[in-house]
């Protein structure tokens, strides 16, 4: 009986230690599954398209006035809680941004390197606002989809969806690409596809299928056909 009591105490202690270790591990984990930086952002002078992949940020920016500033790219990493970005952008130099609590704006500080120099010589404050809504944690349009004629692969980056399609081997057709914009409720994506035409897809409530239409002309027309697909994963 004494041995059983000792064994029971050891088991309880072991379970407590495992629980503490698990809690400690969870508290130290970096979780960026929500990809909250994904999307389009507008600052005073630039429009930024940001793509988040875990703790890594990449993207590009376009100046409002192309004659006074150049476009470029940005890259960097996020802090553990996912709110602070540290990196560089090619037009100037180091950049540090912090997202607001509601995820709808950012503020930060950048630095400008002198031409040909390595060290920043001038700092500036910057800020911007999100265009559209925060994307869903799983980017609901991302994934592979099967229709009766093609296989589609979509990647959602905030309010932008890009992708490609490949016809089945028994279908005499060409592969192509998609580029579209997601509606505010996230249920509809509309845009252009190549070869050449427009499309409008609507996601089901459970996110497992989409139903839509497409045309073979870029200009608006009443001539359209159905394009429906089921999510693979």
131-179: pLDDT as tens digits: 766 655 557 888 889 999 999 989 887 788 888 999 998 888 889 999 8
What is the CATH number assigned to the segment(s) 39-131?
2.40.128.30
Query: What's the pLDDT at 135?
Result: 54
Going by C-alpha positions, the residue among 122, 109, 123, 159 that lies closest to residue 139 is 159
Pairing of strands 39-43, 94-99: unpaired
Angle at 16 between CA 12 and CA 22, to 5 degrees: 145
Confidence label for 184 from pLDDT (cuts 50, 70 and 90):
confident
SS3 200: strand
* Domain residue ranges in the chain: 39-131, 143-231
| Separation between Cα atoms, residue 86 and residue 198, nearest integer Å | 38
Residue 117 has pLDDT above 80, yes or no: no
Strand blocks (E) in 12-53: 39-43, 46-53
Q: What is the pLDDT of residues 29-59, one digit of tens each?
A: 334 446 678 778 889 888 888 877 778 888 8
Residue 75 has pLDDT above 80, yes or no: yes
SS3 7: helix
Q: What is the pLDDT of residues 191-224, one digit of tens each?
A: 999 877 899 999 998 889 999 999 987 666 567 8
Whole-prediction pTM: 0.49
Query: What's the pLDDT at 35?
Result: 66
SS3 40: strand
């Amino acid at each position: 009986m004494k041995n059983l009591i000792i064994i029971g105490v050891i088991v309880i202690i072991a379970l407590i230690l495992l629980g503490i270790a698990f809690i400690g591990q969870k508290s130290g984990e970096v979780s960026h599954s929500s990809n909250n930086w994904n999307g389009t952002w507008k600052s005073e002078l630039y429009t930024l398209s940001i793509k988040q992949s875990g703790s890594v940020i990449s993207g590009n920016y376009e100046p409002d006035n192309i004659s006074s500033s150049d476009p470029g790219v940005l890259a960097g990493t996020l802090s553990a809680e996912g709110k602070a970005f540290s990196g560089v952008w090619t037009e100037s130099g180091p950049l540090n941004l912090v997202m607001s609590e509601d995820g709808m704006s950012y503020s930060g500080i950048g630095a400008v390197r002198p031409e040909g120099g390595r060290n920043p010589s001038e700092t500036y404050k910057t800020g911007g606002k999100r265009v559209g809504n925060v994307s869903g944690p799983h980017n609901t349009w991302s994934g592979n989809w099967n229709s009766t004629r093609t296989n589609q692969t979509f990647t959602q980056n905030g309010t932008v969806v890009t992708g490609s399609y490949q016809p089945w081997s028994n279908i005499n057709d060409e592969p192509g690409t998609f580029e579209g914009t997601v509606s505010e409720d996230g249920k509809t994506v509309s845009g252009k596809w190549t070869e050449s035409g427009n499309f409008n897809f609507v996601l089901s409530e459970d996110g497992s299928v989409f139903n839509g239409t497409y045309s073979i002309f870029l200009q608006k027309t009443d001539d359209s056909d159905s394009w429906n697909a089921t999510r693979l994963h």
